[in-house]
Chains A and B, each alone.
Chain A
Amino acid sequence: MKDNPVVRSLRAANEWIFGYGSPVTFGVFRILIASVLFANFCMIAIDFDAWFSERGYVPWNIASEWMGPAWRVNLLAGVTDTRIVAAFYALVTVSAFLTAIGLWTRPASIILCIGTITLHHRNPIILHGGDTLMRACAFYLAIGPAGASCSVDRLIRLWKGKESGPVKLVSLWPQRMVQFQMAVIYFTTVWAKWYGTAWRDGTAAWYPANLREFDRFPVPEFLHHQPFIAMETYGTLLVELSLATLVFCKPLRKWVLLAGLALHGYIEYAMNIPLFAFAMCSLYISHYMGDEISDWAKRLGQRLHRFAVRVATPAGQVLAQGPGRALAAADALELVTYEQGDRLGWSAQRRANGKPIDFCWASWSRSIGGWILAPLWRMMLGRALVPTHAAAEPVEEPNRVGA
């Protein structure tokens, strides 16, 4: 039974989907896709009156008729008071921001998920593929371990001593769902395109490039002629199919994802399809394991070692254990070394040449996990201190990227 290849394959699939690993990937994915969601809501808010008010193009009765009689998740169903819709919209936008930075992540991501679905059901007529993707991803954020790493929540947990050491491992199925979602998108779009004559005869790329309503930045004229049109058409199909299949093959992964970035980069440059490329490329990170991302951050930190600094605490004081862990976790690139100083106040110097530098700037600017906390950073450093005699034990190094 043990050697049965079917059983072995099922076990391997089970381990791949439901096995445990670092939540860092999901944390980075959360930052990327929630930032896109936040930007999207901010952009649509400019024309809120046109799209969500009762005097706009899509009042509730129009949206209701468009969606049909079936019941749908829509907390704004039947609401015709634009002030309520506006308040709800603001709440969802704030929840997108909180999810992006990882503060109160679980409730924020649940509000974001239900809010996004609600707003999409409130006005479905203005949605494009990027919105559909963002809605799907909001669901994965709500059910996955979105706040386990790369979040303000984790810094707070470390600071308060509720968590210590490296990030806790989590089941990887939410990350696998993101990978699967990406594969579904690319696979089914290639399949649907294969029914189109323009894709088969190699002219499909010609049409969008000539739609003036999609124009963005100028594209060299030669790209609008054969054989480049055919190369763009078949190249698109090839890259999209690879992003659904070959991307799962580790030796090819990097090249396939780079091809995907090139494809979406070109579309983003040449065509006016807001945020779609950013939303799609946010999914790419899901093909990397959390440990790979942590190692990559370490290697990047080593390359940037000329920016490394030593930050010294005031004489007679050291970093308390929890805050010390939080500060270390925020320093994902490992560019800051905190040590006990012998001066009256804080001090800092560059590790490369010993030149002095403002301690707060030195510490904050190199701690990418703390960038969002800029207004609080100086106060945080102050509150992180305890008298030397009160320090229980030396600060352990947590998994830094797990911030």
Chain B
Amino acid sequence: MDGDGQHRGVKVWIKILVLFHAFAILSWSLPDVPRSFRIYLTPDVPQSLLDQAKRPIGTDWLLIWNAKLHRTPFQYYLMSTGFWQSWDMFAPNPADTDVWVDAKVTYRDGTTRIHSYPRMKSLSIPVKYFKERYRKFLERAHVDDNAWLRPRFAQRIALEAYDDPRNPPTRIILRRHFRKILAPDRVTPDDYTVVDYFDYTVDQALLRKEAGE
């Protein structure tokens, strides 16, 4: 890379790679195809259905073409290498639901305790700066599309709640607390709705192993 004062110039293959990379990251970063046009991404859709669908205009066609490109081997240049990226912070709409989670832990002797998963609102300003990953993880882990993460989530909660080998946690109930933010012209209630969303029987062998026993 370093010049030697005589500027030998940049080799053609480097120029091609640079331009390709620039195109690739731009392509990968473009917004998703709006829901109303996703039918155009489905192969072999009957013409009659397409005739009834909303017609894409202008840049909609570009996004459809772009989404099709992502289904070609082109995707591997970004997905495999870690160059994948998307810039949809607060887009297309910002999140409008406050969510936090805790767990009702039942122990072998029948007692129950509430175990707190780090909730940002309850933490001090410096601490929450370090613990924000817990909120980010929860943002993805609590949604129904990712329900397959819940057993692991609950097992980890059991480990954190495990402090007496004679009385280990046996059951974990994950509880979601949520509050929807209403539009600015309406009053958003302060209360949270609480829902038990996952009931898990703790794997005792795994618990002992992870506790180092």
Residues of A in contact with B (beta carbons under 8 Å apart):
14, 17-18, 20, 23, 43-44, 46-47, 50-51, 54-59, 62, 65, 70-73, 116-117, 120-121, 125-129, 132-133, 135-136, 139, 143-145, 148, 168-171, 173-174, 177, 180-181, 184-186, 188-189, 191-199, 203-204, 206-208, 210-217, 225-226, 229, 272-274
Contact = CB atoms under 8 A, between A and B. Distances in A.
A213 B94 contact: no
A196 B121 contact: no
B39 interface: no
B64 interface: no
Contact of B121 (A125, A188, A215): A215
Contact of B87 (A18, A23, A188): A188
A274 B94 contact: no
A189 B91 contact: yes
Interface string B119-141: 11100010011111111110011
Contacts of B156: 50, 55-57
B96 A207 contact: yes
Q: Which 8 A-B pairs have the closest CB atoms?
A: A117-B82, A196-B92, A192-B91, A55-B210, A196-B93, A192-B31, A195-B92, A188-B29
Contacts of B41: none
Contact of A272 (B82, B120, B148): B120
Given A56-B156, A188-B26, A197-B93, 15 more contacts: A14-B15, A46-B130, A47-B133, A50-B134, A51-B133, A57-B156, A70-B79, A148-B1, A186-B87, A196-B93, A199-B91, A208-B94, A216-B125, A217-B125, A272-B128
B1 A212 contact: no
A189 B83 CA distance: 17
Interface in B74-125: 75-76, 79-96, 98-100, 119-121, 125
A213 B98 contact: yes
Given A70-B76, A70-B79, A129 B89 contact: yes
A70 B76 CA distance: 8
B184 A135 contact: no
Contacts of A129: 87, 89
B177 to A, nearest CB: 10
Contact of B119 (A72, A121, A127, A213): A213
Contacts of B25: 136, 180-181, 184
Contacts of B93: 196-199, 204, 207
Contact of A210 (B31, B84, B181): B181
A77 B6 CA distance: 44
24 contacts: A47-B131, A47-B133, A47-B134, A57-B156, A65-B148, A120-B82, A148-B2, A168-B3, A170-B1, A171-B3, A171-B10, A184-B25, A188-B30, A188-B86, A189-B89, A195-B91, A195-B92, A196-B91, A198-B94, A204-B93, A207-B93, A207-B95, A212-B120, A215-B120
Contact of A170 (B3, B75, B91): B3
Contacts of B135: 213
Contacts of B96: 207
B183 interface: yes
Contacts of A181: 25
B204 interface: no
Contacts of B83: 136, 139
Given A181-B25, A193-B92, A17 B140 contact: no
Given A184-B25, A211-B98, A169 B18 contact: no
A59 B14 CA distance: 39
Contacts of A23: 2
A170 B2 CA distance: 5
B16 to A, nearest CB: 11
